[in-house]
Amino acid sequence: MFEYKKFLEYPVKIKNTNPRLANIIITQYGGPNGELAASVRYLSQRYTMPDKVSKGLLTDIGTEELAHLEIVGSLVSQLSKCAPPEEWEKLQSWEYYSDNGASVYPQSAQGSPFNAASIAVTGDPLTNLYEDLAAEQKARAVYDNILRLSDDPDVNEVIKFLRQREVVHFQRFGEALDKMQSDLKQKKITGTGLKKCK
């Protein structure tokens, strides 16, 4: 089960509102490469993992991604909080405002609501880990895109932290993959999920 901690993994304190930037960063809340997708992907993949390293790692990284979801939500919230309609219009973000006001809604930067089609859970342990490695790279690339679009130092400090975590997660998933491949070779585990359970 989960227990809530009443603090963020990394502090978020944004001085200036900027609804336009909020509408870009929201993509890491509910977009295809975002933190919600990451968390649901990892926590859902756990159930068919054959080895303790992958079971543990998916649990722990899946949990950290929930903390990242909260950080991104805080960014979006603080960037748009109390911004009057005129500011949304000036920054050309009225589409978001019309449905969601100044709240945090899981959608991509292009406006598609969160869709689980952006994650894969195949039941095949190796395929899952390859998916996870790709997912971490995609999330890292999106944070790089955001860094190119944002010139707010308060925001960028937080985005850089999140970006760095994707690099660490990629590293750990790579180690879990190496371990799984050597376990498979030594027949310590049967990996494909195609075998009948006893």
Partner 1 sequence: MSEEALNLLKKIQQTTFASYDMLLYLDTHEDDKKAFKLLQSLGTKKKALIAEYEDKFGPLMQSAVPEQESFNWLDNPWPWEKEGNK
Residue 166 site contact among Fe ion, partner 1, none (CB < 5 to 8 Å, cut-off depends on kind): Fe ion
Among 166, 177, 183, 191, which residue interacts with Fe ion (rule: CB under 5 A)? 166
Is 197 an interacting residue with respect to partner 1 (CB under 8 A)?
A: no
Is 176 an interacting residue with respect to partner 1 (CB under 8 A)?
A: yes
Phi, psi of 107 (to 5 degrees): -145, 170
Calpha distance 13→42 (Å, rounded): 29
Calpha distance 194→124 (Å, rounded): 8
- Cβ atoms of 131 and 122 within 8 Å: the answer is yes
Calpha distance 152→106 (Å, rounded): 22
Residue 66 site contact among Fe ion, partner 1, none (CB < 5 to 8 Å, cut-off depends on kind): none
Closer residue to partner 1 in complex, CB, 118/135 = 135
- Could you give the string, one character per residue 128-167, with x where binding to partner 1 holds by CB under 8 A and - elsewhere? ----------------------------------------
Exposed, middle or buried: residue 135 (CB in 10 Å: 0-12, 13-18, 19+)? buried
Is 140 an interacting residue with respect to Fe ion (CB under 5 A)?
A: no
Residue 74 CA to its chain's centroid (Å)? 14
How big is the site for partner 1, counted in residues (CB under 8 A)?
Answer: 29
Q: Which residues bind partner 1 (CB under 8 A)?
A: 3-14, 53, 56-57, 60-61, 64, 70, 73-74, 77-78, 168-169, 172, 175-176, 179
